């Protein structure tokens, strides 16, 4: 088997793992929890949580950054958020973008 074939299988396996983790997380997520999270973010300025959610939204959007408006648009409508998360095409996510986001969070 050539290197390209094994790389593709590796990406598919990693994508399957990510999708499984995402689906397991979504089982526990509800409209009520989303509303509480949204209210918490409006009242408290938890910088670590805000950065984490901004990173998630940036990755979902395929952008380098996301701001408070982007987060608000994603979290304000639970049904749209769930639709986007369930339709996430993890195989086609931009790996360098994800690595950049991961490094940013590690700081």
**pLDDT digit string (tens) for 26-77?**
666 777 877 787 777 778 777 888 888 888 888 888 788 888 888 888 878 8
Whole-model pTM over 0.95: no
How many structural domains is the chain composed of? 1
> What is the pLDDT confidence band of residue 3, given thresholds at 50, 70 and 90?
very low
The pLDDT value recorded for residue 93 is 73
Please say if the pLDDT value at position 4 is more than 50: no
Provide the domain limits for residue 77: 3-106
SS (H, E, C) the chain: CCHHHHHHHHHHHHHHHHHHHHHHHHHHCCHHHHHHHHHHHHHCCCHHHHHHHHHHHHHHHCCCCCCHHHHHHHHHCHHHHHHHHHCCCHHHCCHHHHHHHHHHHHC
Asked whether the predicted pLDDT for residue 1 surpasses 60, the reply is: no
């Amino acid at each position: 088997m050539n290197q390209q074939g094994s790389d593709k299988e590796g990406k598919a396996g990693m994508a399957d793992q990510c999708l499984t983790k995402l689906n397991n997380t979504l089982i526990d997520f509800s409209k009520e929890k989303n509303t509480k999270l949204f209210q918490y973010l409006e009242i408290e300025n938890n910088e670590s949580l805000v950065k984490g959610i901004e990173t998630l939204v940036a990755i979902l959007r395929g952008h380098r950054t996301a701001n408070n408006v982007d987060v608000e648009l994603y979290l304000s409508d639970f049904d749209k958020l769930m639709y986007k998360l369930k339709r996430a095409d993890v195989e086609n996510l931009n790996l360098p973008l994800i690595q950049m986001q991961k490094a940013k969070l590690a700081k």
